[in-house]
Amino acid sequence: MTALHDGPAPTAADSGANATERFKADKLGGVANTPKERVDLLAREVLGAVHDTIRRHKVTYEEYNALKAWLISVGEDGEWPLFLDVWVEHVVEEVATEHREGNKGTIEGPYYVPGAPERGSHGSVPMRENEPGTPLVWTGRVTSTDGSVLDQAKVELWHADDEGLYSQFAPGIPEWNLRGTFSVDAGGEFEIRTVRPAPYRIPTDGACGKLIAAAGWHAWRPAHLHVKVSAPGHELLTAQLYFPGDEHNDDDIASAVKPELILDPKPAADGHGETVVYDFVLDPVPA
C-alpha cells in the first residue's frame, strides 16, 4: 500500500484529542438544558443497571479498580467520543429515527467536520493527486417521501482513505481530503467522484483498544462512506453506505450496518473503477 503521508504515525491520542475538540466546538451548545426530572430518571436507571450487574456477577475490588483505571484513561486519551459513538450511539440513532418513512440512517461517529468545500452537483470530492484506492462514481437523486424532487438538497460526504485514515484526525493528510459538500441539480440529481475507502480499525493504542484486547473483541468497522443529506423542510439524514461482501458488515464493532445501506457497485464501463447508484428519500419535518 502506498504510504501517502510522511511524518508521524497516527495515534489514538491524536485522533482522540481532535475528536474531543470537534465535539466541544460543534455540539456542546445543545447539552445544557436537560430537565432535572430526566437526569434523575436516567441517571438512577443507569446506575441501577450497574448495581445489578455488580451483584449478579459479584464484581471484586480488583475489577472495580480496573474499571476505574480504564475510565480515567478513556478521558486521558480523549476517547469518550470514540467510545460512545462505537458502543452507544447506534441505539440513540434507532430511537431518534424510528418514526421515519424515508431513508434509513445510521450513526454519525466521531469524525464529521462541518463546512467541507462545495463541489456543485457533479464533481469530485477533494483528493490528493494519485489518491490511492478504487475510483468510485456515485450518482443519485434526492426526493421527499411523497416522491417530489428536492432540488435544494445538499449531500455532505466524508470518509476514510485507502489506509482507513480520516483527514483532520490522522496526521499528514490535507485538511479537507475526502470531505466535500455537494448540491443537486434541478432534477434533484448529483454525481460524486471519489475513491473506495478501506475498512476502518479503531485505534488499538488507546483506551478503546485496551478494552477490545482485554475482552477479546475485534476492532473493525466495514468500509463505509459517511453522508449527511439535508433539504429545506426535511429532517436531516445522517447515514453511512457500505460495500457488499465486506467481512465486517455482519459484525461491525459499532453495530451501524443496516441492509438498506449496502451499495451495489458495478465495474465502470471504461474499465476504470466502479459506478454505483444510490438515491435518498427524506422525511418532511413533522407538522
Estimate the share of the chain in helix, then strand, then coil, as percent rounded to the nearest 5. 30, 20, 50
The cell numbers describing 69, all together, are 483505571
Q: Would you tell me which residues interact with Fe ion (CB under 5 A)?
A: 109
State the binding partner of 163 from ligand MBD, Fe ion, none, CB within 5 to 8 A by kind: none
State the binding partner of 211 from Fe ion, ligand MBD, none, CB within 5 to 8 A by kind: none
Lay out the site mask for ligand MBD across 103-142 (x = CB under 6 A, - = otherwise).
----x-xxx-------------------------------
State the binding partner of 142 from ligand MBD, Fe ion, none, CB within 5 to 8 A by kind: none
Q: How far is the CB of 161 from Fe ion (least distance, A)?
A: 12
State the binding partner of 86 from Fe ion, ligand MBD, none, CB within 5 to 8 A by kind: ligand MBD
Q: Which residues contact 283 (CB under 8 A, 6 or more apart)?
A: 99, 100, 101, 102, 144, 145, 234, 235
State the binding partner of 164 from ligand MBD, Fe ion, none, CB within 5 to 8 A by kind: none
Instruction: Round to whole Å and give the CA distance between 220 and 239.
Output: 18
Instruction: Round to whole Å and give the CA distance between 261 and 244.
Output: 10
Nearest Cα neighbor of 70 from 79, 57, 59 is 79
Q: How far is the CB of 105 from ligand MBD (least distance, A)?
A: 13
Length of the chain, in residues: 287
109/126 with CB nearer ligand MBD = 109
Q: How far is the CB of 100 from ligand MBD (least distance, A)?
A: 20
Nearest Cα neighbor of 143 from 3, 31, 281 is 281
Lay out the site mask for ligand MBD across 252-271 (x = CB under 6 A, - = otherwise).
--x-x---------------
Q: How far is CA 18 from CA 9, 75, 136, 237, 279, in A?
A: 15, 13, 28, 24, 32
Instruction: Round to whole Å and give the CA distance between 104 and 184.
Output: 20
82/184 with CB nearer ligand MBD = 82
Is residue 223 near ligand MBD by the rule CB under 6 A? no
Instruction: Round to whole Å and give the CA distance between 257 and 105.
Output: 10
Is residue 220 near ligand MBD by the rule CB under 6 A? no
Residues that bind ligand MBD in the complex, under the rule CB under 6 A: 82, 85-86, 107, 109-111, 200, 202, 221, 254, 256
